[in-house]
Chain A
Amino acid sequence: AQSVTQLGSHVSVSEGALVLLRCNYSSSVPPYLFWYVQYPNQGLQLLLKYTTGATLVKGINGFEAEFKKSETSFHLTKPSAHMSDAAEYFCAVSERVGAQKLVFGQGTRLTINP
Chain B
Amino acid sequence: GAGVSQSPSNKVTEKGKDVELRCDPISGHTALYWYRQSLGQGLEFLIYFQGNSAPDKSGLPSDRFSAERTGGSVSTLTIQRTQQEDSAVYLCASSLPAGRGEQYFGPGTRLTVT
A interface size (C-beta, 8 A):
23
The residue that B44 contacts in the complex, of A97, A104, A107, with Cβ under 8 A, is: A104
- Cα separation A49 to B98 with both chains bound (whole Å): 15
- Cα separation A100 to B94 with both chains bound (whole Å): 12
Q: Does B75 contact A (CB under 8 A)?
A: no
Q: Does B35 contact A (CB under 8 A)?
A: yes
Measured CB to CB, the nearest residue on chain A to B106 is A43
The residue that B56 contacts in the complex, of A34, A43, A101, A105, with Cβ under 8 A, is: A101
Docked-complex contact B99 and A97, CB < 8 angstroms: yes
Docked-complex contact B48 and A43, CB < 8 angstroms: no
- Cα separation A45 to B91 with both chains bound (whole Å): 12
Residues of B within 8 A of A107 (CB): 42-43
Docked-complex contact A101 and B45, CB < 8 angstroms: yes
Docked-complex contact B105 and A90, CB < 8 angstroms: no
Docked-complex contact A102 and B103, CB < 8 angstroms: yes
Given A90-B43, A103-B45, A42-B59 contact (CB < 8 Å): no
Residues of A within 8 A of B (CB): 34, 36, 41-46, 49, 90, 92, 96-107
